[in-house]
Structure 1
Amino acid sequence: MLENWITSVGIDLGTSTTKWVVSRLLLSQISGGSSLPRYGITKRELQYVSPIYSTPLSTMTDIDFPALSLLLEKEYKLAGIDQTDVQTGAVIITGETATKRNAEQLVHLLASHAGQFVVATAGADLEALLAGKGSGAQEWSTHNQGVICNIDIGGGTANAAYFSDGEMIATVTLHIGGRLIRLDSEGAIAYVAEPVAKWVKAENRESAGPGTGVNKQLCDAPEGLATSENKLGSDIHIHQPEPGATVSFDQLEQLCVRMASALLAVVQGHRPHDPALLPLWVSRSVCGLPVPNEIWISGGIGALMRAAPPRNLAETARYGDIGPLLAAALNVQAAHLSIPIRPAEQAERATVIGAGTQTTEVSGATLYLDRDTLPLRNVPVAHCRLQAEHPLPEMDSLQLGEALRTAMVTTLDTYAAVQGDPPFALAIACEEYCSYRRLQRLADAILESYTEAAPEAGVLLVISNRDMGKSLGYALRKRAVPSLRIVSLDQLEPGFGDYLDVGLPLKEDIIPVVIKTLLFHKSN
């Protein structure tokens, strides 16, 4: 097999909306004729793009499982595929949806519901990366000099990813989005997210204190937004939105312009130590962020930036939230920034396109696999970087054992709440070729350390960055008890903090792997 098409599904379950795509990925042999066979994904095509649905919630704090299942069943029929046709993909639980009380149960429901190898992931860094890929910002950065920052703004979070020469070099995420304040056409507030309420209080405290204000001067606004510089200045309090209260259009637009200003200040590297912004941070406050040469806005807010600005409460609340007014406020800032800022070409579906086309990697061909072991889902990574081989075999064995035990114990301590078999994937990073003798010592050290660290485990998953998956797997099989099932893959480099999903074989020597970050954000 030199080429083979596989089907991938991407689902973005966001704070405001749920989106679904079906993609075709072309697996091709990318190694030369004299090399070991190596396959990669060489082409990606979107086959089906769903309508944009409102994310089904049973309450403000719970996701509606039955409604979501019905929605997905409907979409499979519209796309003309069966769950069994799906070979890879990702479900991305994004923004405030990842904070819902039943988000973790949702992961497992979707992983089992959405085909034999559709995975469920969430996490600010991964969301930012996928949106930057799906929006086209990453590709743009490969052909243009400087740093491109893509900010994906949905209902609950703004996820910024910085790209240079096609590589993501930094991320930052804030609690800024259209659904964080919900209201009706009369201005009656139904919901205010806790981070926004805390931020408004902190901003007001800071602006009231003598000598503590930070330069937040905002730009004059076009028609439809406030035009008084004093009205928008840092010396004026923002109206404190509260559920059950009524807000005016002027109060809302003042809040949105200040929110847009705070966001753009952060992504440009300004205000890194400002205590007033602490309630908005999802990722930790990052000092020394790169200064972007260009800013793209994707997500639902990016799409709304192309619309006319709202002129009153009724136009603001047409989706039941502040999204249209936040998009208009970003346009106000964009008109006066020295850095070009614009909505992305693929704005509203950026994350789901990235999820459906960009998440899957392929293992090397030199692999070992015991039968009936796959698929494996949500396995945390124990990362172990091996030092150069010691000239004395005894010292090399001691060196290997110490490195492996440290990696395993650290991972078990970090992910104590994770209950799975295997409890972790051992990712081995070798800087140099691993000799036959050292590989045997490595197999001894792995089994000794693993038996000690995870005595109840029935599966051992080992990932190496060099072409030694098959030989290491056979060495482990020769030494292990028959009941221990072994999977040994290579040509992959997951890191500590990553999770792995390992899918069913696409053919005898091709295993799809998704390397992901799985985080459920919790309110402070």
Structure 2
Amino acid sequence: MNETTTSATAQEAPVGGRVFFSNVRRSLEGEDEIILVSVGVDIGSSTSHLVFSRLVLERLDNRYIVSERTVLHESDVLLTPYAADQSIDAAALGAFIEAQYAQAGIAPDKIDTGALILTGVAVRRTNSRAIADLFAAQAGKFVSVSAGDALETTLAAFGSGAAARSVRETARVMNIDIGGGTTKIAVCENGELVDLTAVDIGARIVALDTEGRLVRLEEAGRKFAEEVGVTLTLGQPVAPEDLARMVDRMAERIFDVAGNAAPDAISQSLLRLEPLRASQLPDVLTFSGGVSEYVYGREAQAYGDLGPLLAAAVRRKAQAWGPRLEVPDQGIRATVIGASQYTVQVSGSTIYVEPANILPVRNVPVIAPQLDLAAEDLNVAEIADNIRRAMRRLDLHEGHQAVAVCYRWQGSATFHRLDAFCRAVAEGMSAVLAQGHPLLLVGEADCGGLIGIHCHEELHLKSPVLSIDGITLKELDFIDIGAMLETSGAVPVVIKSLVFPGSAGLGRTALKV
């Protein structure tokens, strides 16, 4: 999407060097509270929906934090429309979105910020381009994310409230998000996502018409039918007892993957990600996604798929499994991002930019790998591997776009330690650098310049290098980095943080002035 100047983007004042925010150019130096209107849009293979929210940001020392998130309007849930060529029908989708804005009583130009999340077939190039066109007028306000399996699992973990619950209850919380095509399993502890996987099990791997005839059969549906000895033929009716046998086996497979670090061969053949690393049972179990609405009795209407039957089978097995079954903060809307919280920080002056014309950069996703930077002898292989893991977690590992690495430097900045860290980062980011993207490093401590110089002068990286410091970021943030300020040598950074239910309680940060 093309970036445009928007009401939600922080701008420099013409004079005085102050930072201003919003369409009325309010000074952040003089306000203790900012109110934003946001929209989250989730467009997937099976369903599409929107959530409109009001965010209240309050000053805390020299930053702003999200203190309140109020849902203004939850849209209807639309079965994602398709054209005859099986691409998403952008015209029908656009009409639905326009109707939801009208129902919410909010004009598009009154939206300050938002997030557009594309999953499943919506990610395909022709679909994503058509969908982007629907939001072209607001492109600069939105974070746009094409979510693969790992990122969709991550979004569901935070959006369902599982991460927040793990802090609130000091518990190991597993969230199982069951959608139309896939099931995503996430394990959270202490507010962090510690393990995840995804499997080819969903409510719409088999679909029926109003007469009970088979109209859609995915490969995973065919596998389950064969496993239980059922023959499925497009256009022919399917016996209810055959469907019951299929969904019972589907539920068994979900729990085989969820509770077993080494699932059997058939379950492994259904995996879309690596299996969970540990077989330790969670303390608490929650469900999200479309099927969860049936699990918790919030939906009764059937939509020609396996949703109601699969939910009943899953709930029976969940109640016998052991962990305490709880209701999530969000069900079908878990991956709808409540808002993008625009925040602004200004970097330190000890930064490194080479060449200078790489600025500005916009909408760069942030990874925050867990790096042990306290040891005197830094472990290059371990640091590089943790960076690769963080990129894989957010479906960034193929290097198709620039990625910003957030790190927290510890200890002295000796040549030996800097060299080890820079070599590890270059190795971990090799897939990104190989495709010509710059090396983007963002730290809190006052050593960004040294690290950037070392990468360029000592490692002789051919890639552009941008290393800034004095900035606090979290994973799932997106950043815009503006041109260098002539008066200070610093750069303005706009941070777009995904705000989930309960995330304010986890202390998601905002503005540094």
TM-score interval (norm. to shorter): 0.5 to 0.7
Which runs of no fewer than 5 residues in structure 2 stay unpaired? Answer: 1-27, 457-463, 483-490, 500-513
The residue number in structure 1 matching 2:253 is 262
Question: C-alpha separation between the residues in 2 aligned to 1:28 and 1:142?
Answer: 22
Write out aligned runs for 1:216-235 (5 A).
none
Question: C-alpha separation between the residues in 1 aligned to 2:51 and 2:469?
Answer: 29
Q: Contact (CA 8 Å) 2:339, 2:498: kept in 1 or not?
A: no
One-letter code of the match for 1:147?
R
Q: 1:82 aligns with which of 108, 132, 135?
A: 108
Once the 2 structures are TM-superposed, how far is the Cα of residue 473 of structure 1 from its aligned partner?
A: 8.8
Q: Contact (CA 8 Å) 1:195, 1:279: kept in 2 or not?
A: no
Once the 2 structures are TM-superposed, how far is the Cα of residue 46 of structure 1 from its aligned partner?
A: 2.4
Q: 1:491 aligns with which of 460, 468, 471?
A: 471
> In the TM superposition, what whole-angstrom CA distance separates every residue of 1:274-310 from its partner, at most 9, and x where no partner exists?
1111332111223424311221111211111244999
1:133 and 1:281, CA in 2 relative to 1: closer, same or farther beyond 3 A?
same
1:166 and 1:419, CA in 2 relative to 1: closer, same or farther beyond 3 A?
closer
Q: 1:93 aligns with which of 109, 118, 131?
A: 118
Question: C-alpha separation between the residues in 2 aligned to 1:278 and 1:476?
Answer: 41
Q: 1:4 aligns with which of 34, 40, 44?
A: 34
1:64 and 1:467, CA in 2 relative to 1: closer, same or farther beyond 3 A?
farther
Q: 1:464 aligns with which of 438, 443, 457?
A: 443
Q: 2:321 aligns with which of 300, 320, 337?
A: 337
1:43 and 1:434, CA in 2 relative to 1: closer, same or farther beyond 3 A?
farther
| Greater fraction helix | 1
Q: Contact (CA 8 Å) 1:147, 1:162: kept in 2 or not?
A: yes
The residue number in structure 2 matching 1:22 is 52
1:13 and 1:461, CA in 2 relative to 1: closer, same or farther beyond 3 A?
same
1:335 and 1:373, CA in 2 relative to 1: closer, same or farther beyond 3 A?
same
Q: Contact (CA 8 Å) 2:361, 2:481: kept in 1 or not?
A: yes
The residue number in structure 2 matching 1:250 is 241
Once the 2 structures are TM-superposed, how far is the Cα of residue 328 of structure 1 from its aligned partner?
A: 1.7
One-letter code of the match for 1:488?
I
1:252 and 1:101, CA in 2 relative to 1: closer, same or farther beyond 3 A?
farther
1:415 and 1:120, CA in 2 relative to 1: closer, same or farther beyond 3 A?
closer
Give the 3-state SS of the residue equivalent to 1:23 in structure 2. Answer: strand
> In the TM superposition, what whole-angstrom CA distance separates every residue of 1:254-290 from its partner, at most 9, and x where no partner exists?
10111112112321227x2411113321112234243
> In the TM superposition, what whole-angstrom CA distance separates every residue of 1:312-354 from its partner, at most 9, and x where no partner exists?
xxx8xx31211111112123323433333355353222221xx
The residue number in structure 1 matching 2:292 is 302
Question: C-alpha separation between the residues in 2 aligned to 1:425 and 1:185?
Answer: 49
Question: C-alpha separation between the residues in 2 aligned to 1:377 and 1:500?
Answer: 9
Q: Contact (CA 8 Å) 2:56, 2:66: kept in 1 or not?
A: yes
RMSD: 5.0
The residue number in structure 1 matching 2:269 is 279
1:309 and 1:38, CA in 2 relative to 1: closer, same or farther beyond 3 A?
closer
Question: C-alpha separation between the residues in 2 aligned to 1:349 and 1:341?
Answer: 19
Question: C-alpha separation between the residues in 1 aligned to 2:253 and 2:341?
Answer: 31
Question: C-alpha separation between the residues in 2 aligned to 1:333 and 1:458?
Answer: 47
Question: C-alpha separation between the residues in 2 aligned to 1:499 and 1:139?
Answer: 15
The residue number in structure 2 matching 1:127 is 152
The residue number in structure 1 matching 2:334 is 350
Q: 2:495 aligns with which of 493, 512, 515?
A: 512
1:358 and 1:338, CA in 2 relative to 1: closer, same or farther beyond 3 A?
farther
Question: C-alpha separation between the residues in 2 aligned to 1:56 and 1:282?
Answer: 25
1:342 and 1:30, CA in 2 relative to 1: closer, same or farther beyond 3 A?
closer
Once the 2 structures are TM-superposed, how far is the Cα of residue 462 of structure 1 from its aligned partner?
A: 3.5
Question: C-alpha separation between the residues in 2 aligned to 1:386 and 1:379?
Answer: 22
1:145 and 1:493, CA in 2 relative to 1: closer, same or farther beyond 3 A?
closer
Asked whether 1:432 is paired with 2:411, we answer yes
Q: Contact (CA 8 Å) 2:35, 2:57: kept in 1 or not?
A: yes
Question: C-alpha separation between the residues in 2 aligned to 1:100 and 1:44?
Answer: 32
Write out aligned runs for 1:119-158 (5 A).
119-158=144-183
Question: C-alpha separation between the residues in 2 aligned to 1:263 and 1:350?
Answer: 19
Asked whether 1:502 is paired with 2:479, we answer yes
Question: C-alpha separation between the residues in 2 aligned to 1:195 and 1:376?
Answer: 39
Question: C-alpha separation between the residues in 2 aligned to 1:515 and 1:282?
Answer: 25
Question: C-alpha separation between the residues in 1 aligned to 2:330 and 2:319?
Answer: 21
The residue number in structure 1 matching 2:232 is 241
Q: Contact (CA 8 Å) 2:118, 2:128: kept in 1 or not?
A: no
The residue number in structure 2 matching 1:206 is none
Q: Contact (CA 8 Å) 1:365, 1:509: kept in 2 or not?
A: yes
Once the 2 structures are TM-superposed, how far is the Cα of residue 50 of structure 1 from its aligned partner?
A: 1.6
Once the 2 structures are TM-superposed, how far is the Cα of residue 500 of structure 1 from its aligned partner?
A: 6.8
My pick for the range that moved more, 185-194 or 327-336, is 327-336
1:328 and 1:469, CA in 2 relative to 1: closer, same or farther beyond 3 A?
same
Once the 2 structures are TM-superposed, how far is the Cα of residue 57 of structure 1 from its aligned partner?
A: 1.9
One-letter code of the match for 2:72?
Q
One-letter code of the match for 1:192?
L
Q: Contact (CA 8 Å) 1:187, 1:246: kept in 2 or not?
A: yes
Asked whether 1:72 is paired with 2:52, we answer no
The residue number in structure 2 matching 1:115 is 139
Q: Contact (CA 8 Å) 1:377, 1:500: kept in 2 or not?
A: no
The residue number in structure 1 matching 2:71 is 46
One-letter code of the match for 1:511?
V
1:7 and 1:278, CA in 2 relative to 1: closer, same or farther beyond 3 A?
same
One-letter code of the match for 1:3?
E
Question: C-alpha separation between the residues in 1 aligned to 2:398 and 2:296?
Answer: 45
Q: Contact (CA 8 Å) 1:190, 1:244: kept in 2 or not?
A: yes
1:15 and 1:238, CA in 2 relative to 1: closer, same or farther beyond 3 A?
farther
1:435 and 1:45, CA in 2 relative to 1: closer, same or farther beyond 3 A?
farther
My pick for the range that moved more, 185-194 or 41-50, is 41-50
One-letter code of the match for 2:52?
V
Which runs of no fewer than 5 residues in structure 1 stay unpaired? Answer: 32-36, 204-236, 478-483, 517-524
Please report the TM-score for the alignment, with normalisation by the length of structure 1. 0.67
One-letter code of the match for 1:276?
I
Give the 3-state SS of the residue equivalent to 1:142 in structure 2. Answer: helix
Please report the TM-score for the alignment, with normalisation by the length of structure 2. 0.68
1:456 and 1:241, CA in 2 relative to 1: closer, same or farther beyond 3 A?
closer
Q: Contact (CA 8 Å) 2:293, 2:332: kept in 1 or not?
A: yes
Give the 3-state SS of the residue equivalent to 1:178 in structure 2. Answer: coil
> In the TM superposition, what whole-angstrom CA distance separates every residue of 1:82-115 from its partner, at most 9, and x where no partner exists?
357433x322223x33575645546755674543
One-letter code of the match for 2:494?
I
One-letter code of the match for 1:350?
A
The residue number in structure 2 matching 1:210 is none
Q: 1:189 aligns with which of 206, 211, 214?
A: 214
> In the TM superposition, what whole-angstrom CA distance separates every residue of 1:146-176 from its partner, at most 9, and x where no partner exists?
3111111121111121122322221121122
Question: C-alpha separation between the residues in 2 aligned to 1:363 and 1:156?
Answer: 40
Q: 2:308 aligns with which of 319, 324, 334?
A: 324
Report the count of equivalent residues. Answer: 441
Give the 3-state SS of the residue equivalent to 1:133 in structure 2. Answer: helix
Q: Contact (CA 8 Å) 2:175, 2:187: kept in 1 or not?
A: yes
Q: Contact (CA 8 Å) 1:181, 1:192: kept in 2 or not?
A: yes
